[in-house]
Structure 1
Amino acid sequence: MNFTLPVSGVLDVAQTLSVLKVHSLANQEILDLHAASIKRVLRLGGEYYATKLWLSPTEVTVETQTPQRLQSELVDIINSWLGLPQDQLQGYAKLETLDMLKPAVKRFPNLRLIGYPDLFEALMTTILGQQISTSAARTLATRYVQELGERHECGLHVFPDALSTSQNTAEELQQIIRCPLSRAQTVQRVAHWYVHTGQYLAESQEDFLDSLQALKGVGPWTRDYVALRGLRQQSIFLRTDLVVKRALATLGVKQTDPLEIPDGAGSLATVLLWALDTKKN
């Protein structure tokens, strides 16, 4: 099945690919920067389907094994993952009023929040990446996906689900991921919570986030990052994020300086600062 999805406004293809590359796992997806394409195996209706996307400024072309009956579910996943329907005009208009963000607004006029195809993937990727570099997080996630993610006939692995993760002990997960036991315990604890509680709270986002943060090993940054990239909450401004702090320092903003981000523009402000820091480096 082939079809195209429209983009609201303009998709900054280069920046989208740049964001995807930071988190890309070689055993999970094929990211072709030259062709502006990404291939993954997505979970729909309890089954797995190889899906390839070609990005352009105005639309995304989709080639997939997914049957017609599941097309609307696939469209929802892609739209949420890449934020294609996201109208950024209001957010940009609000942020243009902040002098300190004007350089980022001018340099990156067409950014949008890139999330994950699946909420549990956003959750686990965030847990694995707590307090370590993105490259170290990718290494841990690659081991996790290789061992627990089902291998599709196309050769790529599917991101593990919550049940298969929770069925391993923390000690087993530690051996698989090769991480400190405390991190493996958090992975096991969060996966168990998601199976028995979290997935049923997902429609009530604040209840989901409050319940998540009540778990040992989950702090405010994790809550906010999941809210941002997992639940796509537009109001979240990730000021505690290391990269955001670094970008603000580059702009001359001190940690003690007050910041009044306009309501509903927090996620865009975060994305702009991430982009600014990436280009600086």
Structure 2
Amino acid sequence: MEREVHIIDGWHIDNDCIIIDLPADFNMKANLAYLKRNKNECMFEVENETVTRVIVVGENRHLVRLNVNEQNQMIVRFVNGFKTSKPDGANVAAYIREWFDLDRDLTPFYKMAKADQLLKEPVQNFSGLRVIGVPDLFEALCWGILGQQINLAFAYTLKRQFVEKYGDFIEWSGRKYWIFPSHKQIAQLTPDDMAQIKMTRRKSEFIIGIAQLMASGELSKEKLLGLGSLKEAEKSLIKIRGIGPWTANYLLMRCLRFTSAFPIDDVGLHNSIKRLTSGEKKPSKEELLALSAKWAPWQAYATFYLWRVNY
């Protein structure tokens, strides 16, 4: 029986697998190293160079496993018995392309970074790394708020508590694969409802407030992107209770995909710069602004590569 193959914009369906053509400079091992940076991650699993996670498309929840073959193609297999349709295949492929930022031409970034005294070592060591995104706006905002003013390990612990308390899951082969809680569900809660999660009451208030804004339609990814510029989107975000410049730029970088987003107050960024320069003090704001100007319009990628130095 002849295999049915649908060719659509850099990906196709072949025997219920989605096959995504990858950029020549994509390096799966470099990206897996980022995905494996904390064993407490609950939104996906990485094992034997294969990623397993749930991708939600409308009312459908697809448990997928993805890896890269020798032809530099990402193979996406549906493991919960779903027969791939072209519309859902397109949406799953689009999610993965956004997650790994596959449609970005990084040639200008690499040209700039290889000539930069601070970036040349990270881009040489971690070449092929992409800014791994958080495509869902509510998940990205929650992750940004959970991570405020605490270390990364504790932030992962809080996320797991939050997801396992309010999220749903698909169980397969004796394991649970989690689905992030919806803003509609969280909008119905009070801070007292969230008291069992070891976050501050203020963070609970922030997350519930954001969920309510999204449930009412006042806040959406489409509206933020529709503002047309990083500055306008940043202004809109920092008007929201609980979102300051760091959280706003984290969201602009990892969800809204502005390459010039720059979380200037990020401690991990400061530590990386200290490490690479053998400095004793964290860089001053003036020094950071000077570096940022040299990296334009690739500040987000510069930051992501510098973060990679720390783990």
1:203 aligns with 2:203: no
Change (3 A) 1:220 1:83: same
AA of the residue aligned to 1:230: C
The answer (yes or no) to whether the contact 2:110–2:123 under 8 Å persists in 1 is yes
Q: Structure 1 length normalisation: TM-score? A: 0.89
Contact 2:246 2:264 in 1 (8 A): no
AA aligned opposite 2:24: G
Query: In 2, Cα distance between the equivalents of 1:8 and 1:171?
Result: 47
Any unmatched runs of 5+ in structure 2? 1-15
Kindly state the Cα deviation for residue 97 of structure 1 after the two structures are TM-superposed.
3.0
What is the aligned counterpart of 2:75 among 61, 70, 85? 61
- Which deviates more, 140-149 or 210-219? 210-219
Q: Closer, same or farther in 2 for the Cα pair 1:192/1:56, shift >3 Å? A: farther
Distance 1:138 1:72 in 2: 31
Q: Which amino acid aligns with 1:89?
A: T
Higher helix share: 1
Aligned to 1:38: 51
1:105 Cα deviation from its structure 2 partner: 2.7
Return the alpha-carbon distance in structure 2 between the equivalents of residues 101 and 157 of structure 1: 36
Deviation at 1:102, TM superposition (A): 2.2
Q: Which residue of 1 aligns with 2:33?
A: 18
- State the shift of 1:52 in Å: 1.2
Assess, with a 3 A threshold, how the Cα gap between structure 1 residues 132 and 55 changes in structure 2: closer, same or farther: farther
Q: Structure 2 CA distance, aligned partners of 1:235 and 1:26?
A: 27
The equivalent of 1:82 in structure 2 is: 100
Q: Which residue of 2 aligns with 1:267?
A: 300
2-structure distance, mates of 1:79, 1:24: 24
Residues 197-245 of structure 1, C-alpha deviation per residue, up to 9 Å, x if partnerless? 1125143255554332112221100000000111111112333211110
Count of aligned residue pairs for this structure pair:
275
Q: For 2:195, which of 174, 182, 187 is the aligned residue?
A: 174
**Shift in Å, 1:173:** 1.9
Aligned-residue offset at 1:178? 2.3
Instruction: Report % sequence identity.
Output: 25
Does residue 179 of structure 2 align to residue 162 of structure 1? no
Could you tell me how far 1:129 is from its partner in structure 2? 1.2
For 1:148 and 1:17, the matched residues in 2 are separated by 27
* Alignment TM-score, normalising by the size of structure 2: 0.81
Task: Report the AA paired with residue 246 of structure 2.
Answer: W
Is 105-114 or 242-251 further displaced after alignment?
105-114
What amino acid maps onto 2:207 in structure 1?
Answer: V
Superposition deviation, residue 121 in structure 1: 1.4
The higher-RCO structure (CA 8 Å, 6+ apart) is 1
Q: Tell me, yes or no, if the aligned pair for 1:198 and 1:208 is still in contact at 8 Å.
A: no
Aligned-residue offset at 1:56? 5.1
Runs of 4+ in 1 over 4 A off after TM superposition: 23-27, 205-208
| Structure 2 residue matching 1:174: 3-state secondary structure | coil
- Provide the residue aligned with 1:120 in structure 2: 138
Q: What is the deviation of 1:27?
A: 4.6
User: Are the aligned partners of 1:95 and 1:261 in contact in 2 as well (CA < 8 Å)?
Assistant: no
User: Do structure 1's residue 9 and structure 2's residue 24 form an aligned pair?
Assistant: yes
Equivalent pair of 1:24/1:31 in contact (CA under 8 Å): no
Pair 1:221-2:246 in alignment:
yes
Structure with greater proportional strand content: 2
Distance 1:26 1:134, change over 3 A: closer
CA 1:211–1:23: 2 relative to 1, 3 Å: farther
Aligned-partner Cα distance in 2 for 1:201–1:96: 36
**CA positional deviation for 1:68:** 3.0
